[in-house]
Amino acid sequence: MGQKPALGGEQAGTEPRAEDGGKQAATIGTIERRAELGGEPAAPDPEAEALTPDDALALARENFRFSAMRNAYYHSARLRFYEAQHRALMFGIVLTGTAGVANIFTAYAGDRWFAGITALLATLDLVFDLRGKAQLHDSLKRRYFILLARLEERPEAGARQMAKWQSRIYSITAEEPVTYRAVDAVAHNEAIDTLGLDPDDKQALTKSQYRWRHFYTAQGVTFPYAREVASAGDSKP
The alpha-helical segments, DSSP class H, found in 97-129 are 99-109, 111-128
Nearest one of 124, 133, 147 to 176, comparing CA atoms: 133
Report pLDDT for 112.
65
Report pLDDT for 109.
60
Alpha carbon separation from 195 to 63, 74, 123, 215 (Å, rounded): 11, 15, 42, 28
Nearest one of 6, 27, 58, 10 to 179, comparing CA atoms: 10
Report pLDDT for 46.
57
Is residue 87 one of the residues assigned to a domain? Answer: yes
Tally the domains of the chain. Answer: 1
- Give the type of residue at 162: M
Report pLDDT for 14.
40
Report pLDDT for 107.
65
Domain boundaries, position 218 = 23-235
For the chain, residues with pLDDT lower than 70 are 1-49, 97, 99-115, 233-237
pLDDT digits (tens, 9 = 90+) for 127-148: 999 999 999 999 999 999 999 9
The alpha-helical segments, DSSP class H, found in the chain are 23-36, 46-49, 53-96, 99-109, 111-128, 130-153, 159-173, 181-195, 207-211, 226-235
Is residue 1 one of the residues assigned to a domain? Answer: no
Q: Is 115 left (phi over 0), alpha (psi -120 to 50) or beta?
A: alpha
How many CB atoms lie under 10 A from the CB of residue 210?
13
- Write down the pTM of the prediction: 0.74
Residues 6+ apart with CB under 8 A from 26: 20, 66, 192, 197, 198, 201
Is residue 53 one of the residues assigned to a domain? Answer: yes
